[in-house]
C-alpha cells in the first residue's frame, strides 16, 4: 500500500495548480501549494523544509546544491516539462534524491502564442481595445504581413511551426544557424541566409525560438538588434536571458528595432510594473503566458504528479538520475 508523502509545490503565483483536474492524482498525500514566490534561498528552504517530494513549475524555482543540502527530508523532485538546468542534479544524486521530468513539449502552444503576439503588435490590437473602452473610435494604421520577411532564430520544433504559419500569411521565411537547423529549414521550404547580420537586418518580424543554454545565453547582442530596421518587430517567447542584459531596452529607445513583443523576463514574476519594457510604448508585454493553456497545464502537471505518485509507490518513472536510487 502506498504511504502518503508530504508534497510541496512552490511558486504557483498564478494560483492555478489546485484548479486542475489532474490535481486529484495527489489525493491521499499531504500537499501544500505555495502561491507567493520565495524572496531568497532561506525562505525557500523554510517553505520546503518538511517536504519529502517537491513538484517544480518549469524553471521558476532554482534547486541549488545549497538549498538541497538544507532539505533533510527531501527524497524526490518532480519536474513539469523536460528542462532540469535549474536543478543541481549532481547534488541530488549524491544525496540519493531522485529527479523525474516530463516527456511532453509545448511546441504548438508556444507557436500559437508567438503568432498572437505578432498579430497583436503589428495591428496595435491592445491599444485599440483600450481606446474603445474609453469611448473613443480611433482605428490605428497597422502593418501587414503579406510579402514581408519573417526571420526565425532557432529553427527547432517551435521555430518550424512559427515558420509554417508565416508561409500561410504569404511571408518570405528566412533563418540562420548550424547545419541541423539549416537542414530542417531547407526541408521546410525556407531560406537560409549566410550570416546572423543578414537574418536580423532582413527580417520585418524576427522570432526568437532558441532554447536557453550556456551557448545561447546573451547570444543576441546589441549589435544584432542595431542591425534591425526601424519598422521591424522582435518577438521573444523563448527566454529573456538569450538577449544581452539591457540590450533590448536600449535598442527600442534607439529605434532599431522599432517594436518588440515579449513574454519572458530575467526575473519573474514582474510585479508593480517594475520593468523598463512596461514603460515603453513600442513594447507589447505579457506575463510569461505562452505555455499557460488548459490542455498544456493538464498535460504537464498530470505527468509530473504521476511521476511523484509512482515514486511513492516504489516504481519511479521518467528519472533523470536513476543512479540516485542506489544511494
What is the tens place of the pLDDT at every residue in 201-244? 999 999 999 999 899 999 999 999 999 999 999 999 999 999 99
Q: Is 266 part of the annotated catalytic residue set? A: no
Q: Is pLDDT of 1 > 60?
A: no
Q: Is 183 part of the annotated catalytic residue set? A: no
Mean pLDDT calculated for residue range 315-321: 96
Q: Is pLDDT of 266 > 90?
A: yes
Q: Is 112 part of the annotated catalytic residue set? A: no
- The pLDDT value recorded for residue 140 is 87
pLDDT tens per residue, range 5-52: 999 999 999 899 999 999 999 999 999 999 988 999 999 999 999 999
Kindly indicate the confidence band of residue 253, based on its pLDDT and cuts at 50, 70 and 90: very high
Tell me what the pLDDT averaged over the chain comes to.
Answer: 95
Asked if 319 and 99 count as a contact pair (C-beta separation under 8 A), the reply is yes
Q: Which of 153, 239, 256, 275 is catalytic?
A: 239
Q: Is pLDDT of 267 > 70?
A: yes
Mean pLDDT calculated for residue range 282-295: 94
Looking at per-residue confidence, does 268 or 122 come out higher?
122
- The pLDDT value recorded for residue 2 is 66
pLDDT above 70 coverage of the chain, percent: 99
- The pLDDT value recorded for residue 106 is 77
d(CA 265, CA 252): 16
d(CA 33, CA 24): 14
CB atoms within 10 A of CB 187: 9
Q: Which of 184, 288, 303, 306 is catalytic?
A: 288
pLDDT tens per residue, range 190-201: 999 999 999 999
For the chain, list the domains and their CATH numbers. Answer: 6-105+294-326 (3.40.50.720), 107-285 (3.40.50.720)
pLDDT tens per residue, range 160-181: 999 999 999 999 999 999 899 9
Q: Which of 25, 112, 249, 268 is catalytic?
A: 268
pTM listed for this prediction: 0.89
CA angle 95, 101, 105 (to 5 degrees): 160
Mean pLDDT calculated for residue range 133-147: 94
Could you write out the DSSP letters of every residue in 180-227?
HHHHHHHHTT-EE-SSHHHHHHH-SEEEE-PPP-TTTTT-B-HHHHHT
Amino acid at each position: 500500500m502506498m504511504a502518503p508523502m508530504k508534497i510541496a509545490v512552490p511558486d504557483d503565483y498564478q494560483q492555478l495548480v489546485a484548479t486542475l483536474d489532474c490535481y486529484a492524482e495527489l489525493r491521499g498525500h499531504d500537499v501544500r501549494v505555495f502561491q507567493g514566490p520565495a524572496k531568497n534561498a532561506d525562505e525557500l528552504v523554510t517553505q520546503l523544509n518538511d517536504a519529502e517530494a517537491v513538484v517544480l513549475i518549469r524553471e521558476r524555482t532554482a534547486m541549488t546544491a545549497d538549498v538541497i543540502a538544507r532539505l533533510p527530508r527531501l527524497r524526490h523532485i518532480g519536474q513539469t516539462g523536460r528542462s532540469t538546468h535549474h536543478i543541481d542534479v549532481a547534488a541530488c544524486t549524491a544525496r540519493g534524491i531522485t529527479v523525474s521530468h516530463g516527456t511532453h513539449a509545448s511546441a504548438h502552444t508556444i507557436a500559437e502564442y508567438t503568432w498572437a503576439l505578432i498579430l497583436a503588435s503589428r495591428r496595435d490590437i491592445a491599444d485599440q481595445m483600450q481606446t474603445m473602452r474609453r469611448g473613443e473610435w480611433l482605428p490605428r494604421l497597422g502593418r501587414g504581413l503579406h510579402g514581408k520577411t519573417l526571420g526565425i532564430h532557432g529553427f527547432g520544433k517551435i521555430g518550424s511551426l512559427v515558420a509554417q504559419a508565416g508561409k500561410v500569411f504569404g511571408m518570405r521565411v528566412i533563418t540562420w544557424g548550424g547545419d541541423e537547423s539549416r537542414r530542417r529549414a531547407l526541408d521546410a521550404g525556407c531560406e537560409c541566409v549566410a550570416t546572423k547580420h543578414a537574418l536580423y537586418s532582413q527580417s520585418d518580424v524576427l522570432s526568437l525560438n532558441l532554447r536557453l543554454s550556456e551557448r545561447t545565453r546573451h547570444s543576441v547582442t546589441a549589435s544584432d538588434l542595431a542591425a534591425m530596421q526601424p519598422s521591424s518587430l522582435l518577438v521573444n517567447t523563448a527566454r529573456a536571458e538569450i538577449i544581452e542584459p539591457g540590450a533590448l531596452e536600449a535598442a527600442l529607445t534607439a529605434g532599431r528595432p522599432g517594436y518588440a513583443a515579449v513574454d519572458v523576463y530575467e526575473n519573474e514574476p514582474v510585479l508593480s510594473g517594475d520593468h523598463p519594457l512596461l514603460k515603453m510604448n513600442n513594447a507589447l508585454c505579457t506575463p510569461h503566458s505562452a505555455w499557460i493553456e488548459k490542455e498544456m497545464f493538464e498535460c504537464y502537471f498530470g505527468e509530473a504528479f504521476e511521476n511523484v505518485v509512482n515514486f511513492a509507490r516504489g516504481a519511479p518513472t521518467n528519472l533523470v538520475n536513476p543512479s540516485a536510487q542506489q544511494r
